Amino acid sequence: MLDTYRFIITAAPESIATALDEIKYGSHNITTNELAAGVVLVALEQFLDDWTVSLAARPPVFVRHIAPVHRELVLDGTAVDLDRLERVALGLGEHLAPARSFAIQTRLLDEVNAHLTRFEINERLAMAVQKATSIPLNVPQPEAVISVALAGDRAYLGVSPVAFNRSAWAGGAQRFAREQGQISRAEFKLLEAQDVFDFRWPDWGQALDMGAAPGGWTRILRREGLPVVAIDPAELDPRLVRDPGVRHLQTLIQRFLPTAERFSVIVNDLRMDARDSAWVMCEAAPALEAGGIGVMTLKLPHERSANVAYHALSILRKTYHVVGARQLFHNRSEVTVVLRPLDQKAARK
């Protein structure tokens, strides 16, 4: 007999239909209930083990966050609601693995439950679970999560390893504080990619920044100690112009490639069609050193965006190993992709 399994997924509101298509994996039946813009409660009929295997084998691009729903609680809008949430959380806490850290992640999806705050719920539930289980609390980097979502008169709670959730942040909504010296908000995209895809920048070689202006990504790479060749006809931020570790070539990337230079990092935030940008990235592939890394954004149109993204990814796979591709919280109409060089033997096959 098939399982009926419930979970909450989040995606950019304009991508939610595509996100739902991505997680069906041949499900016999799927029902949905929109809880808020870009937040959907899903019930599907499928063998759970089969579904999780499919999720690992074919990771979705447009799903930002997944939170299982193991318990549903009716709220009455009084202070007693917090006591009820605590009792359910304690029951879920019994399923946490000993010695593995956890966090409580709460989302308030409307204003119905204004008598409760995220901080109040997180603090109360975390203290109760920690006291009952002695499991360490680690809010920034938990190994497991008890998820709480409040919508209308309902609370939805579940427990899962953080890897299943796809993000250590509630709803996949990772926020960064503006840094001193920050050049552009585009820097958040690169910082989020590093966190979500869990990679480190090489401590050797040089970086190529394609479509660099005004220089946000170049600043991040310089902060990591890498000299940068920045390609863009537009001007860079004056602070980067004065940096001896930045070589700015005011030209089109198509005039720079192919190149005899070699790079340990190639990043690409070019403002062009995702498929064209993918071909440019492929042309740059011979310049990426073995052990190097590539990061790029795929700019998507308003219509048929999923098809364009999948086509661009198929182009990239001709010359790269795609480590991951996802529409991150700081992406707008785009998808971030992390790439590694193909094994030379695999590339010849």
Rg of the chain over Cα atoms, rounded to whole angstroms, equals 22
Cα(16)–Cα(38) distance, integer angstroms:
6
Residue 299 is among the residues annotated as catalytic for this protein: yes
What would the DSSP string read from start to end of 165-213?
A: HS-SSGGG----PPPTT---THHHHHHHHHHHHT----SSS-EEEET-T
Q: H/E element holding 10?
A: strand 3-10
Distance CA 296, CA 209 (A): 10
| Tokens found for residue 274 | 């995702």
SS3 88: helix
Q: Which of 131, 189, 299, 345 is catalytic?
A: 299
Q: Is 252 left (phi over 0), alpha (psi -120 to 50) or beta?
A: beta
Q: Which helix (H) or strand (E) holds 121?
A: helix 118-133
Q: How far apart are CA 87 and CA 51, in angstroms?
A: 30
Burial class, 214, CB count within 10 angstroms (exposed 0-12 / middle 13-18 / buried 19+): middle
Q: Which residues are catalytic?
A: 299
